[in-house]
């Protein structure tokens, strides 16, 4: 596996582990009366919060070598602390508004 692909996979795993905000949009199209080509008349953009994934976080900790870390025994506050540490380590942006 090349370093570029490995880095992309690691970045995706980190994003999944800490949660992120995704944008979804829906376009309303109508035909232009002159050209009969479809034209966008309205675009609705919504933001969707994707919650952190515990399995991704576990895998990330296993990959970094911390085998003694048991996430299932942690409180919500402890999980948030670990999330913040991961964000600091990775330089990630905190898009989570929980």
In a domain, 98, yes or no: no
Domain that holds residue 77: 11-90
Q: Are strands 20-31 and 38-50 parallel, antiparallel or unpaired?
A: antiparallel
The confidence score (pLDDT) of residue 47 equals 94
Long-range CB contact pairs, 90-96, < 8 A, 24+: 90/14, 92/14, 92/15, 92/18, 94/18, 95/19, 95/20, 95/21, 96/18, 96/19, 96/20, 96/21, 96/49, 96/52
**10-residue stretch averages of pLDDT, the chain, 98 residues long:** 84 88 93 90 92 86 67 77 79 59
In a domain, 57, yes or no: yes
In a domain, 58, yes or no: yes
Interval 11-28: pLDDT, tens: 888 889 888 999 999 999
The confidence score (pLDDT) of residue 87 equals 79
Among 25, 18, 24, 16, CA closest to 96: 18
In a domain, 79, yes or no: yes
- Round to whole Å and give the CA distance between 84 and 62: 18
The confidence score (pLDDT) of residue 97 equals 46
In a domain, 38, yes or no: yes
pTM over 0.85: no
The confidence score (pLDDT) of residue 29 equals 92
């Amino acid at each position: 596996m090349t370093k570029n692909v490995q880095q992309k996979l690691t970045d995706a795993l980190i994003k999944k582990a800490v949660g992120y905000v995704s944008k979804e949009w829906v376009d309303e199209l109508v035909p232009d009366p002159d050209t009969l080509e479809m034209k966008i008349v309205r675009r609705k953009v919504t933001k969707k919060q994707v919650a952190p994934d515990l399995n991704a976080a576990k895998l990330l900790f296993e990959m970094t070598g911390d085998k003694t870390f048991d996430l299932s025994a942690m409180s919500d506050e402890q999980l948030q602390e670990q999330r913040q540490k991961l964000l600091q380590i990775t330089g990630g942006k905190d898009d989570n508004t929980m």
